[in-house]
Amino acid sequence: MGYTLHLSAGVTDEQFKIDPQASNRERNWFHVEWNLPAITLDYDFGNGTKLSMKNFAVLSSRYSVEQTDPVNIPDDGGFRDLRRDEYRNYGSEIRF
């Protein structure tokens, strides 16, 4: 499941302090998908001895379409940057 949001952009620091959702760049968009699967195994051997095993992953992506010119240059309706990022991280933890 992903989310698409309008980016606040094209504002100065002072304008952002007044309204963090303000935007002078109506064509800037951001889409993100986060998938965080995990499997956990806990086993109690008795006498205070336990085993815990966790396997997990981050399988995500982020896309943004934006005009990246300085804020004092208005959006002329021209070229915008498409930025794509993919995240693939895996991990395991075992405690005995």
pLDDT value for 75: 80
Q: What confidence tier does 1 reach under pLDDT thresholds 50, 70, 90? A: low
* Owning domain of residue 55: 2-95
- For 8-63, the pLDDT digits (tens) are 777 888 888 998 888 888 888 889 999 999 999 999 999 999 999 999 999 999 99
Here the tokens at position 44 are 């109690």
- For 58-88, the pLDDT digits (tens) are 999 999 888 877 877 778 888 888 899 999 9
Here the tokens at position 24 are 């002078």
Overall domain count for the chain: 1
Of 58, 78, 66, the C-alpha closest to 31 is 66
